[in-house]
Amino acid sequence: MNKVVYVPAFFRNGSDSIIDDEALAENVRESIEELNQEGYEVLSVTPVTSAEYKSGGEYNLSYGYGYSYTSSLIIIAKRI
């Protein structure tokens, strides 16, 4: 039997582009520890990537930019 766990990522306080990697790592550690206690072995951890973009301009001037970030992680585990 397999189990899938969703672990969301959050931005650091005051940021709209920097993931709080320490909190994400702690949430992953807690999720894996719980899976292990339930008798599961982690098979994979897959990042889910999201993206943002902005564009605009006036007259003959315009701009555009975009970036991607890890919005969550998916942990797949198998009962052992």
14-36 per-position pLDDT tens digit: 888 889 999 999 999 999 999 99
Structure tokens at 56: 């605009």
Sequence spans of domains, the chain: 2-79
pLDDT of 7 reads 97
Question: How far is the first Cα of the chain from the last one, in angstroms, to the nearest whole number?
Answer: 9
44-79 per-position pLDDT tens digit: 999 999 999 999 998 889 999 998 989 999 999 999
Structure tokens at 66: 């975009």
Structure tokens at 41: 């072995």
Structure tokens at 17: 């582009």
Model confidence, pTM: 0.82
